[in-house]
Structures are given as C-alpha cells and as structure tokens.
Amino acid sequence: MAINVKIKSIKLLQGLPRFAYLLAVLTALGMSASLYRLYAGLGDTTNMSTVFPWGLWISFDLTTVAFAGAAFTLAALVYIFHMHDLHAAVRPTVLFGLLGYGSVLVILFFDLGRWDRFWHFLVYPNLSSALFEVSWCIAIYTTILIYEFSPVLLEKTKYKKLLGFIEKITIPMVIAGITFSSMHQSSLGSLFVIMEPRLHPLWYSIIQPEFFLLSSLAAGISTIIIGSFVSIKLFGKTLEQKMIEKLGRLMPWILGLYLVIKVGELAFAGELDLLFTSGMLSVLFLAEMILGVIIPAVLFSIRKIRTSRVASLVAALFVAAGILLNRFDATWFAIKKLNGESYFPSWIEIALLVGVASGVLLVYTLAAHFFPVFSETLNARSLSEANAGASQPAHTPAGD
C-alpha cells in the first residue's frame, strides 16, 4: 500500500517543470531566514532604522499589490464591461492576484514588531488611518479572490454542487472586489499624504491615492500581457493575440491620463522646476515618466505593435519597469535622508523576500499543474494560427 502511494505521488509530480525544484530550495532558504528574523528581532536582521523605519519589504508589498491589480482590472473588463473574450485570462490572473496578495500578507507579518498581534487591526479600528483601510480592504479582497478562484478547486470534487451558487453571486462579488481593490490601491497612495515632511515633493501629492489607483490599472494590464508570454515558456499556454491587442488599446488612455494629471499636479503646485533641479531624483522621476509612461503610451497606440506578440511584451515591460520604479521611489529612493543616513537592505531582508516570492511562484506552478487553471487558454502550439487570426481586422468593436 505504502509503496503504491509513493509511486502514485511520484507519478503526480511527473511533468512538473524543473524550475519548481529550484523554487522549492529557495523557499526553504527563505523560510530559515524568516525563522531567524522571528527569533532575533528586526534590529539584528534588517538594516531598517529610526530614519528608515520601512525598507525593502514595504517597497515589495506596494509593487506587488500594484501588479496584482491585474485581477480586479481584468474582472472589471470581463464581467462589467462585458469583454467576454478575455475570459480565458481570468483564472491564471485571479490566481496570480491571490498569490500576490498572499505574499504581501506573509511579508507584512514578518515586518511587524509584534507579529503575534497581526490580528489587532481587526478589533482595534482607527478609521482615519490609511494603513487600517489598506489592511481591511486587502483582507476582504483576498477573501473575494479566494471565492473567485474556488470554482477551479471545486470543479472536480464532490462539492461541485456549490458551483451553481458561486456563479449566481458572481456579479455582486466582482463589483465588491473591484470596489475594495480601488479602495486599497488608492489607500496605499493615501499612506504618503501624512508623510509630507519625509517624501520628496516630486512624489508627494495630496492626490497620490488617485495616482496609485490609476497606475495600478496600467500595472494590471501589463501584468496580464507579460504573464501571457511567461506562461508560454513555463506552462505551454497563452492568450490569443487578439485579446492582448484589445488590452493594449486601453494603455494609451490610462497612461495618457496619468501623465496629464501628474504633470498638471506639479504645475499646479509650482514644482515643475524640480523636474530638473533635484539631481538623481529628477533622473528617477523623468525615467518613470519617459520610460514607464510616455514610451509605452506611444508604443501601445500603434496597431502594428499591439498585434505583434513580442512588441506588446516589450511595451508592457516598459510599463512594468515604470511601476516598479515608482513604488520603490515613493517608499525608498525619494524618502528624505536625515543626518546623512541612507538605507540598503540586509541579506536577510533579501533572502526572506526571495523565499516568499519563490514560495508563491511554487504554489502557482503546483496549482497550474494539478488544477485546471489554464483550461480556457490556448496551447502554445496553436499560437501561429492565433497570430494569423489576429492580423485580420477584429470583428467585434470593443472599447473604441
């Protein structure tokens, strides 16, 4: 019997991509780093300080939440704007969102001085705290993501009776998910409103919440496009180019609006001169704007680029780099140094981060292996056909 079970489990793991084992090793290393952090406290294990009470982990959290915005962006497009041909991307994207938020929650846990009291935000509310809003909305939204992903897990079990009920409440749940997402995406921007003395004026703004919300939409779409490419390599699955083209069409609008408000806000505050007088920070800000916003906005407005798989990927990578830089700027690079003290993460901070990221990627791989996550997506082999299809004019006018 025991041998039988063993053989069965070996068989189950057959066909698992080889990088999964590398991820498992990195996860184990990260777990040891995290145990050491719990044992030794934050002072001995991190380079955070009184001057920089937040570090790499918070930068990672904000970046990940932005990219995990893919889930609510796609849910809005598919269920609310009725772009049903994007439906194939829903499962892989919801899983990405769920695991993205999972990694953020795990990292936050290790970031707390009193991690044993992480649940306090549930019972001690402070309604004017942006971090309280963020905590609650992330908790609720993660629950909604679990709901949205549950059919994948239940489909082949005896609980599939529940599927009917799950489907019935889809629309209200999706709307709730989008609402709580918008709230915490913007509340993450609200975090910085009170940090006026510490954040450089190029990034400080009372409408930071709106900037964060808008950029999370761009981050979400770029994530779906990049993901459709990565999943060819890893799982042999992808999306039709027609869908990627459709997503790309939204980008110039979102990025353009972002650019206009961002520059407008600086002009309104009389801070346009800072664009060129803040040394390295000017360079970072302009890099965000030019590489992450202007270039991809132009690229995505060209039809030839949207219909090309590789060109779309490149344009999406520009957006992603811009988002990454923006979140790291706001939480790290553009934070005013005091007494000349600067911050660079310790190796334990990096190891823990790599471990958690590897852990969620491993879970993703396993889930994709054992559950019908990619059931509606294309096989990469039929890609050439799909490309041929996309180069013909689109039949359904959607969006514009």
Partner 1 sequence: MTAHKYGFLIDASRCIDCRACLVACSAENNVSMKHTRIWIKDTGIVGEFPDLKHYTAPYHCMHCTDPACVSACTVGALQQNEDGIVTYDNDRCIGCRYCMYACPFEVPYFEWDKQFALITKCDFCISRLEEGQAEPACAATCPTDAIQFGSREEMLALARERIKNEPGRYVDHVFGEHENGGTSTFFISPVPFEQLGFPTTERTESSARFNREVTEIGTPIIASAVALGMTGIYLALKPKTGKHAAEKTEHTEEKTAQAQEE
Instruction: Please report, as ranges, the residues that interact with partner 1 according to CB under 8 A.
Output: 38-44, 48-50, 53-54, 76, 79-82, 84, 87, 111-118, 120-121, 124-133, 135, 171, 174-176, 178-179, 182-183, 186-187, 190-191, 193-198, 206, 208-209, 213, 338, 375-376
Shorter beta-carbon distance to partner 1: residue 200 or 315:
200
Q: Which residue has the tokens 């879970």?
A: 363
Shorter beta-carbon distance to partner 1: residue 99 or 335:
335
Cβ of residue 80: shortest distance to partner 1, in angstroms? 5
Q: Which residue has the tokens 């096989």?
A: 379
Beta bridge partners of 378: 238
Cβ of residue 94: shortest distance to partner 1, in angstroms? 17
Compute how many other C-beta atoms are within 10 angstroms of the C-beta atom of residue 247.
Answer: 26
Cβ of residue 217: shortest distance to partner 1, in angstroms? 12
Cβ of residue 166: shortest distance to partner 1, in angstroms? 16
Shorter beta-carbon distance to partner 1: residue 71 or 320:
71
Backbone angles phi, psi at 392, to 5 degrees: -75, 155
Cβ of residue 122: shortest distance to partner 1, in angstroms? 9
Neighbouring C-alpha atoms within 13 Å toward the C-beta of 354: 17
Cβ of residue 366: shortest distance to partner 1, in angstroms? 19
User: Can you tell me the distance from the alpha carbon of 278 to that of 286, in angstroms, rounded to the nearest whole number?
Assistant: 11
Which residues lie closer than 8 Å to 219 by C-beta, 6 or more apart?
Answer: 66, 67, 69, 70, 319, 320, 323
Shorter beta-carbon distance to partner 1: residue 301 or 346:
346
E strand or H helix that includes residue 237: strand 237-238
Beta bridge partners of 379: 237
List, in sequence order, the alpha helices (H) in the chain: 2-13, 19-40, 42-45, 56-68, 70-75, 90-111, 120-123, 130-154, 162-168, 170-190, 208-235, 241-268, 274-277, 280-289, 295-300, 303-307, 309-328, 347-370, 383-391
Shorter beta-carbon distance to partner 1: residue 184 or 306:
184
Compute how many other C-beta atoms are within 10 angstroms of the C-beta atom of residue 209.
Answer: 21
Q: Which amino acid is at 230?
A: V
User: Can you tell me the distance from the alpha carbon of 251 to that of 305, in angstroms, rounded to the nearest whole number?
Assistant: 12
Cβ of residue 347: shortest distance to partner 1, in angstroms? 17
User: Can you tell me the distance from the alpha carbon of 200 to that of 286, in angstroms, rounded to the nearest whole number?
Assistant: 14
Beta bridge partners of 237: 379
Shorter beta-carbon distance to partner 1: residue 219 or 299:
219
Shorter beta-carbon distance to partner 1: residue 143 or 301:
143
Cβ of residue 184: shortest distance to partner 1, in angstroms? 9
| CA terminus-to-terminus distance, the chain | 61
Cβ of residue 256: shortest distance to partner 1, in angstroms? 20
Shorter beta-carbon distance to partner 1: residue 19 or 36:
36
SS3 of residue 338 by DSSP: strand
Q: Which residue has the tokens 């050439």?
A: 384
Q: What one-character DSSP code corresponds to residue 158? A: G
Cβ of residue 128: shortest distance to partner 1, in angstroms? 5
Shorter beta-carbon distance to partner 1: residue 128 or 157:
128
Shorter beta-carbon distance to partner 1: residue 6 or 160:
160
